[in-house]
Structure 1
Amino acid sequence: MPLCRLRPLVFRWRCGRVLEGSRFRIEGSSESSTLLISETRPEDSGRYTLVARDRKGSSQHSLTLSVIERPQPPASSPVVCVLSTHSLVLSWAGPCYDGGSAITSYVVEVQQVSSTGEGSWTELSAGCKSTSLRVSSGLQPQAQYRFRIRACNAVGLSEPSPESQVIRMESGAGEPHEEKRNDYVTVTIDEKHKVTDHYNVLDKLGVGKFGHVYRLTHKETGQVFAGKFYKGRRAKERDAAKKEIELMNSLHHPKLVQCLAAYDNKPEIVMVMEFIAGGELFERIVDDNFEHTEQSSVGYMRQILQGVQYMHQQNIVHLDLKPENIVCEDRTGFRIKIIDFGLASKLDSSTPLKVMHGTPEFVAPEVINYEPVCLTTDMWSIGVICYILLSGESPFQGDSDTETLALVTAAQWEFDEESFEDITNQAKDFISSLLQKNVRHRMSCEEALSHSWTMTLESADPGAAKNLSKDKMKKFLARQKWKKTGKAMLALKRMAMLSKSDSPVTLTSPVDDTEDVLKSLEERMQAKPEFIKAPFDLSVFEDSTAQLICHVTGYPDPEVLWLRDGEVLEEQDGCVQVDYEEDGICVLTLDSVTLQHSGTYSCKATNVHGEALCSAKITVVDKHTD
């Protein structure tokens, strides 16, 4: 500490906390004062002030003390994705505490596992600046390895992270192949435990109409998973979740995302899924680090067909095939998986299935016409995906959903001359054989896999492949983002109408400066829930129906709970029904009420920006009362 050269009567050290204990000692004389701190700790960091005072006044001097130490180890074990006989990708999470000094790099360590399960640890990489690493040398085909990570700051290295699971490299025979999976699980819903008994729930990965998806880590192994949390408060939501789990028990295939566990903790149902880190396929394609060719597109389409073929062999139809449901296994490889089986159904020849759901651009004509669907309903969607993959344009995109649906119903489309200038006739024939309005004329999965175009991957020369333009694909993705914000824009308009500001909110066309507009929209669309219509107090007779209605707004869309006298209200015995519509209307219905249903009912709306509450009283009157 610095010395103050005054002749004061009094010295005093000040800090944001009391300096007591054997670790703190003050030494000094009539001319100086020294604060000694032994065995320093991170909590000792802060601003220290020495005040010197005599009869004429006082003076002070301040300084900042920073106590740094080695960082904590990375929070979980590294995730490993094998790419080929000698290469793989590692990814991991940073430490929970950096030791008070920024992380400068990571050290990756590897252990080759012997037949006895043992082996020595060696340094694989010492200067990794990010939380992922592609390893392309030093690994042997069919050898077994495990990995661990250390974090480094200005002080030194952390202890090692939890070790990864043991992985086996691919064999060297022939072209790289997918290992036979050993983690296929027939899931039985666990009603005795909570998901938090076995997993740590980390950051939110996404939001859907069903609920939320969170990143999970297994408490024992540290392995990363995704948790799909269904709201499950209404009977139909719970039934949908259970149906999806049942279907996924029949879909054990490398190209289909796997459900590995499920928990039913009323009112919530949680599906534990494979964690797929690579993001959407189309987002990968527009990345500047990846080449996009017709040949690479063949590889993607074959994988999609392989996954759908397995579904169709189980007589299961996906009914929601679209680009956002085709994802990459990791951030560097080329393997994909099909996700989201929330709309999938098992076909029954004795009971024709008609549905009224799907995404306008990708839905087949028979769905719009409310005609029975079949396995080739998925093949139409695959044809649309392939068209966009090769051209960056959507064959049925209209100026509105209504116009898009009309174009699909009429099966009106064509190959844009400019967009398909460099595309082979084989590819065009492949698409044409799928986009057939008559379901009987469409190719099946087996026929698509044996089509001359999908067979070209094995014989084509990779060096001769021509790069396809990504510009139109980028515009397509930008339009998709705008469609996803459509609901948000409606909410923005509602907020604008409710606002007391005199300046109206202007929504800019998505044609120009799309990214800037999206960012601006996102910034303006942050609002905690607000009830713009509250329920009224009710008096009803026994055995009648009581209904409370309110209207909530906010963005992101709030989660809604109904409570009775402060306790969460559950749907049970058909008496209690909760409805929450997409426009923000919340309805609580009580059928055949009794005197015991009297009480105060509250609707609680919550999102990341806050919460709101509104209440009303229901008084049930004896029906024999005059």
Structure 2
Amino acid sequence: MSGDPSKKRYVSTFRMYLQPSVQDQDSSAGGGSLGNGPTPGTVVSRSRTYPVQLATENKPGPAAELNPPRFTEPLKDCTVDEGCDIVLHGVLAGSQPFHISWLHNGEPVHFGTPSLDGVVVRLVVDDCLPEDAGAYTCVAENAAGKTSSSAAVCVRGLPVQLKDPPKQVEVRAGETARLQCCFSSSFPVAACWIHNKDQVVDGSRIWVENGDKHSTLVVAEAQASDVGSYIIVVRDRKGWVQHAVSLTVIDRPQPPASCPVISQISGSSLVLSWSGPCYDGGSAIVGYVVETKKEGPGEPGEWKELTGCCRSTSYRVRSGLEPLCEYSFRVRAYNAVGISRPSKESDIIKMDTEGKVQEEPQIYEDFVIDTTNKVTDHYTVLERLGMGKFGQVFQLVHKESGRVCAGKFYKGRRSMEREAARREIQLIKSLHHPKLVQCLGAYDSRSEIVMVMEYVAGGELFERIVDDNFEHTEPTSARYMQQILEGMRYIHQRNIVHLDLKPENVVCVDSSGTNIKIIDFGLASKLDPTTPLKIMQGTPEFVAPEVISFEPVELATDMWSVGVICYILLSGESPFQGNSESETLALVTAAELEFDEDFKEISDQARDFISNLVKKDVRRRLSCDEALAHPWMASFATANPRYTKTLPKEKMKKYLAKQKWKKTGKALLALKRLALLSSKVDGTSRPTSPGEDPGLTPEVEKALKSLEEKLLSQPYFSQPLMDQVVPRGSTVHLICNIQGYPDPEVEWLKEEESLKESSRLRVEYEEDGSCMLLLADAESGDSGLYTCRAANSQGEAHCSARLSVEG
């Protein structure tokens, strides 16, 4: 078109159809109906008019170049849990603008939130449901063509879940209780209720109402026997859940479990002690009513109320007892609902001329361990009083005499534990002193070993001291220490060491007096002059430095503990307690005793008394005789209570609270293990839902029946032993974790030979399954292959590790 510029020029307008090449189509095509990339044949041309301008230099002007859309990052297949968000995105290339549309299973998408941010396409479906699963296609087009990308989305249904189930249901006796639990699931659900390890079966008074989204246990005319934990088990093919609902039926409490027992008290008064009801009626016991009746010829035989507001299980009768008269007593318990029937009557007691109870002197009787009967043949077992490393203590009532006692039930899974129990019984049955708890009998059967002891009703000494009605002074503290020393002198004279003296093991005889007794001889041992005794046990705050250093213990080892108890008694602070057990042991080893501002009101004699007990050098500690002869012991005899300063109790209350927290922490380990076992519920049956066929799918039926199998399992090691290389003289810890139910019995072997506990070797087996072989002062001869063998009724498992002692 170039030429003479004076000549006339024309511009021609025409319409052009642009078609992508076959090569471009092939490069963007993808395989599979749900695969990523454009589907073959989806790229089509769309006509559009573009004016072409000619250049002034009479050169042809270039046409605008358009590129069809294509996915540089296609959609990706994904799996999403129900209730979560589906997020699909891809990245486009090509000429803009793009027009985007979404398809779900070939139909336009009318849900979710689509977006286009530049070249990024996105579709978000909030809180997806199972019906949101399927094939999603993103279609992109521009003036040059159209393409698409597809992805498969799988919505994974959630296993069954409980929706805010109740933890406790409370009704009055005679009312109807409804324990309802709602649940949600993407699959068919079956549910059943379990009580006392048996599945609840529909009856005239108790039945189950099942629905698609709930299950309700109905208990009509609720009564005391219905009280307890009810476990709902809900199962679908993806999983199962369980939840415990506690049913409380409020009613009058049952009568106190034992008749009142009369304790020795001077003057014209006496102390009654009894056991609380076995069942409190579902509501806390508020108090007790104590009644008395005058016995003898010509007496009306009417019961008279002594008090209607006793808040504990003991009561001091201070008045109303006439000389030479005979009396009997009984007790009633009451709660928010009402008052119980009376307890059994006490023995008849006769007062002497001075109004003092006539009592027989305490007689110490020897006994033979009963290997024929069980403790339950002669005693009724009531509430648990305490729990320790070697067993549990329960309150007992003799079936014939009604005497209240305490029973220590030993752990007896292993032979060495049973031997340790027998040693403690033989030792304590030979100790007869007013300041030591007395052993009254013992039972040794295949299933358990039980020691029967006198029941000491007053509680721990430190708990008594912090009571608001108790006056805490330095002279009273000296009196308590004197009693502790009298008891310790008796056992030291027999060359016996207690090795576990601490506040928890010093208890009051009754709830109102000041007499104490020493309990728990689980670690006590008789010293042999020819064989030094080394131990690796005790409570860190109270053990002596020689215990931590694994040096021979002596009678003076107990005296260190006596000094620590006295320090806490006067100040409320523990002298060596750190922020951790290791810090506490380090402070004990350093043995640097300090008297801070808590002792500013304490006498110099008391400080000197403690300082001469808490000495690192064993030879410089006071003996029991020397401590009893110390000037501080005589100070309380001459002190005038009127002019004696009352000691503060705030720090001791904090100390006791901290000790309870520690006990709770240890108890939690056992509770967690019990919770683990309770999750493996035993006993299953096929529940029915209204309007459904009672037959269950094989998956659900198998799941329900497997609950019992989950409870029973052969032993296995969740944490195996590990090989160790240690220097000579060090302490070895071989640790593993054993699971299985029933609890496996454990045996340790070295080179296939069974190991026995000794002063250097100890085995610890905790409730959570943790098992440790502790070997002190390792020698080259200790090298070898160590094996832990665990066995129960379901099978046996082994785990081994090699120990190498160098140097």
* TM-score normalised by L of structure 2: 0.51
Q: Which amino acid aligns with 1:106?
A: V
List runs of 5+ in structure 1 lacking aligned partners.
1-14, 20-40, 44-67, 497-528, 537-548, 564-572, 589-600, 605-614, 620-626
Equivalent residue, structure 2, for 1:108: 291
Tell me how far 1:336 sits from its aligned partner. Answer: 1.1
Counterpart among 584, 598, 604 of residue 768 in structure 2? 584
Question: 1: CA distance between counterparts of 2:279 and 2:577?
Answer: 49
Name the aligned partner's letter for residue 290 of structure 1. Answer: F
Deviation at 1:230, TM superposition (A): 0.8
Q: Name the CA shift for 1:149/1:105 in 2 (closer, same or farther; >3 Å).
A: closer
Cα distance between partner residues in 1 of 2:346 and 2:373 = 26
- Matched residue SS, 1:535: strand
Q: Distance in 2 between matches of 1:107 and 1:482?
A: 35
Check the 8 A contact 2:351/2:358 in 1, yes or no: no
Could you say which residue in structure 2 is the equivalent of 1:551?
Answer: 738
* Distance apart, 1:435 and its partner CA: 1.1
In the other structure, the counterpart of 1:231 is 411
Instruction: Tell me the residue number matched to 1:6.
Output: none
Q: After superposition, what is the alpha-carbon deviation per residue over 1:553-607, rounded to whole angstroms, capped at 9, x for unaligned?
A: 9xxxx982569xxxxxxxxx98999x8722733789xxxxxxxxxxxx9758xxx
CA drift at 1:530: 8.8
Partner Cα distance (1:550, 1:531) in 2: 18
Equivalent residue for 1:423?
Answer: 602
- Match of 1:560, SS? coil
Q: Does 1:463 align with 2:647?
A: no
Aligned to 2:478: 298
Corresponding position of 1:125? 306
Once the 2 structures are TM-superposed, how far is the Cα of residue 274 of structure 1 from its aligned partner? 1.4
- Residue 214 of structure 2: aligned partner: none
| Correspondent of 1:432 among 611, 620, 635 | 611
Q: Which runs of 5+ in 2 are unaligned?
A: 1-175, 178-202, 206-220, 224-249, 676-709, 718-735, 747-752, 758-762, 773-789, 799-807
Would you say the 8 A contact 2:742–2:792 is kept in 1?
A: no
Structure 1 counterpart of 2:553: 373
Give the SS at the match of 2:743: strand
Quote the residue 2:461 is aligned against.
Answer: 281
Partner in structure 1 of residue 90 of structure 2:
none
1:147 maps to what in 2?
329
Q: Secondary structure at the match of 2:599?
A: coil
The yes-or-no answer on 1:349 pairing with 2:536 is no
What is the aligned residue count?
A: 476
Give the counterpart letter for 2:264 in structure 1.
V
| Range moving further from structure 2, 104-113 or 331-340 | 104-113
Candidates 546, 551, 560, aligned match of 2:743? 560
Matched, 1:197 2:377: yes
AA in 2 matched with 1:109: T
Higher mean alpha-carbon deviation, 470-479 vs 90-99, is at 90-99
- Within 1, Cα distance between the matches of 2:341 and 2:636? 46
Give, in whole Å, the separation in 1 of the partners of 2:579 and 2:336: 57
* Of 482, 486, 503, the match for 1:323: 503
Per-residue Cα deviation, 1:240-275 (whole angstroms, up to 9, x for no partner)? 111111111221111111111100111310011111
**For residue 451 of structure 1, what is the aligned residue in structure 2?**
630
Structure 2 Cα separation of the partners of residues 411 and 248 of structure 1: 32
Cα distance, 1:134 vs structure 2? 2.2
Distance in structure 2 (CA, Å) of the matches to 1:477 and 1:155: 33
Partners of 2:432 and 2:634 lie apart in 1 by: 25
Cα pair 1:396 1:404 within 8 Å, conserved? yes
Distance, in Å, in 1 between the alignment partners of 2:489 and 2:606 is: 20
CA–CA separation in structure 1 for the residues paired with 2:564 and 2:252: 53
CA distance in 2, matches of 1:284, 1:82: 19
CA 1:177 to 1:103, structure 2 compared with 1: closer, same or farther past 3 Å?
Answer: closer
Aligned partner letter, 1:385: I
C-alpha displacement of 1:78: 0.8
CA shift at 1:94, angstroms?
5.3
Partners of 1:468 and 1:93 in 2: how far apart? Answer: 33
The aligned counterpart of 1:473 is 652
- Counterparts of 2:652 and 2:448, CA distance in 1: 38
For 1:222 and 1:587, the matched residues in 2 are separated by 41
Q: What amino acid is aligned across from residue 319 of structure 2 in structure 1?
A: S
Question: How many Å apart are 1:180 and its aligned residue?
Answer: 7.0
Report the Cα distance in structure 1 between the residues aligned to 2:277 and 2:674, rounded to whole angstroms.
Answer: 41
The secondary structure found in structure 1 opposite 2:534 is coil
Native 8 Å contact 1:141 1:171 kept in 2: yes
Cα shift at 1:168: 7.2
Query: What value does the CA root-mean-square deviation take over the aligned residues?
Result: 4.6
Distance across 2 between alignment mates of 1:212 and 1:148: 29
Rg comparison, structure with higher value: 2
Distance 2:289 2:642 in 1: 36
Equivalent in the alignment of 1:216:
396
After TM superposition, give the deviation of residue 448 of structure 1 in Å. Answer: 1.0
Distance 2:339 2:453 in 1: 34
How far apart are residue 316 of structure 1 and its match? 1.0
What TM-score does the superposition give when structure 1 sets the normalisation length? 0.65
* Residues 203/447 of structure 1: CA separation in 2 closer, same or farther (3 Å cut): same
CA distance in 2, matches of 1:423, 1:303: 20
2:569 alignment partner, SS class: helix
Q: 1:586 to 1:379 in 2, by over 3 A?
A: closer
Distance 1:435 1:112 in 2: 55
Q: In structure 2, what is the equivalent of residue 35 of structure 1?
A: none
Q: State the alpha-carbon separation in 2 of the partners of residues 142 and 410 from structure 1.
A: 62
Contact kept, 8 Å, 1:356 with 1:370, in 2: the verdict is yes
2:515 corresponds to 1:335: yes
1:340-370 Cα deviation digits (max 9, x unpaired): 0000011122222222211111111222222
| CA gap 1:100/1:237 in 2 versus in 1, 3 angstroms | closer
Give secondary structure in 2 for the equivalent of 1:342. Answer: coil
The alpha-carbon deviation at position 182 of structure 1 amounts to: 2.7
Alpha-carbon distance between aligned partners in 2 of 1:183 and 1:617, rounded to the nearest angstrom:
50
Given that residues 533 and 553 in structure 2 are in contact (C-alpha distance below 8 angstroms), is that contact kept between their aligned partners in structure 1?
yes
